[in-house]
Chains A and B, each alone.
Chain A
Amino acid sequence: KQEVTQIPAALSVPEGENLVLNCSFTDSAIYNLQWFRQDPGKGLTSLLLIQSSQREQTSGRLNASLDKSSGRSTLYIAASQPGDSATYLCAVRPLGNKLVFGAGTILRVKS
């Protein structure tokens, strides 16, 4: 059974810091991996999707990497801003259709 773990569960950093969020998964047979952002009381917004054949994806200050063989992904946020404060969720799509989510990392960027 695929399991997804996100570390740390919560993170507080001062504005301007570069930071890394970690996601690990137990079964490397995945179709893709997706990072989401969730603001309090809101739905999830897709940030980046990495297909299994890719190593990384970038969007603005965000960079996500994927190492399928070791079952790891990282989300790198450069020059963090208070507006980045949110919960970040990682989800993997196994070779079936059922996306499996991690519990998320709650990020707080202090001004």
Chain B
Amino acid sequence: NAGVTQTPKFRVLKTGQSMTLLCAQDMNHEYMYWYRQDPGMGLRLIHYSVGEGTTAKGEVPDGYNVSRLKKQNFLLGLESAAPSQTSVYFCASSYSRKDHSSGANVLTFGAGSRLTVL
């Protein structure tokens, strides 16, 4: 049982380059999220999805795009990377908020993707 898998784990980009981070979960979770974590700050939500084919903006969506073509995958794209996007990116997933069973709503996180933009 892999849980939430993020690829790649590390990446160095030059300003203006584009790239895609992949998140895959095998728990049949409806909800998926992309966060970024910066020193001294809490995790900030970039985009999220409440189901296949749906996406929504989070707290800091600018400069990022996402897609959820399959329920198990949530892709985060950087269209034109900037040094301000240097960060550690975390993907997470959970069951629907409407599921009140034991363990529901607990977020499961991936191990993170460290991105450096030069």
Binding site for B on A (CB under 8 A): 4, 31-32, 34, 36, 41-46, 49, 89, 91, 93, 97-104
Contacts and interface: CB of A to CB of B under 8 A. Distances in A.
B109 A89 contact: no
A45 B40 contact: no
A44 B3 CA distance: 12
Given A97-B48, A97-B50, A97-B97, A34 B42 contact: no
Contacts of B40: 103
22 contacts: A32-B105, A34-B106, A36-B109, A43-B90, A43-B111, A44-B90, A44-B109, A45-B109, A46-B106, A49-B106, A89-B42, A91-B42, A91-B43, A97-B31, A97-B48, A98-B58, A98-B59, A100-B42, A101-B35, A102-B42, A103-B41, A104-B42
Nearest to A103: B42
A43 B112 CA distance: 6
A46 B48 contact: no
Contacts, number: 59
Nearest to A95: B97
**Binding site secondary structure of chain A:** strand
Contacts of B4: 43
B42 A4 contact: yes
Given A46-B106, A89-B42, 4 more contacts: A32-B105, A43-B90, A44-B107, A44-B109
Contacts of B78: none
Contact of B110 (A43, A98, A99, A103): A43
Interface of B: 4, 31, 33, 35, 40-45, 48, 50, 56, 58-59, 90, 92, 97, 105-112
B95 to A, nearest CB: 12
Q: Which of A32, A36, A43, A45 has the most CB of B within 10 A?
A: A43
Most buried by A among B42, B97, B106: B42
Contacts of B92: 44
